[in-house]
Amino acid sequence: MVKNPKPIKKGVKTEPPQLQFDYPVFCFKNCRKGYKPSDLDSPQKRKAFLQRLTKWSEMTWEDIRGQDRQGLGHEKIPQSSIKGSLSGIGKDQVIISTYIGKKVARLIGFKTDGVFHVLWVDGKMDIYKHG
């Protein structure tokens, strides 16, 4: 069930309806060195990571889109704010950040065709400065 869905702005490119209601698939193939799930520095952070991933896997993309950005939702990050390497990422690719928990980590990556490609599991909170 979608809670408080955000309105779609006129002229904004959206996913086809079938992808909005699909469940997310997470791809960690392109995680950057030092920012993989196994690099989280404590068992508590790794546990929180798995718990959050489990929650997201039970939600559709539309459900996630309707959530608060610091809750179960996500936010767009300008590529110019990213301190890590964006090699292999198109200039027009939208970078998305999701919180795993306060001071736990952020998942940062991009979404294509319903797949969230994770580039960083940012347990150090240093890939971008949050304004």
* pLDDT, one tens digit for every residue, the chain (131 residues): 434 444 434 444 455 555 555 888 889 999 999 999 999 999 999 999 899 889 888 888 788 777 776 666 677 888 888 998 888 888 888 888 887 777 788 888 998 888 889 999 999 889 887 65
Q: What is the DSSP string of 6-32?
A: PPPPTT-----HHHHTSPPEEE-TTPP
Taking Cα atoms as reference points, which of 74, 70, 81 lies closest to residue 126? 81
Report pLDDT for 6. 44
Residues in CB range of 17: below 8 A, 6 or more apart: none
Between vectors from CA 88 to CA 124 and to CA 111, what angle results, nearest 5°?
70
Report pLDDT for 5. 41
pTM, entire model: 0.76
Summarize pLDDT for 4-18 with one digit per residue, the tens.
444 434 444 455 555
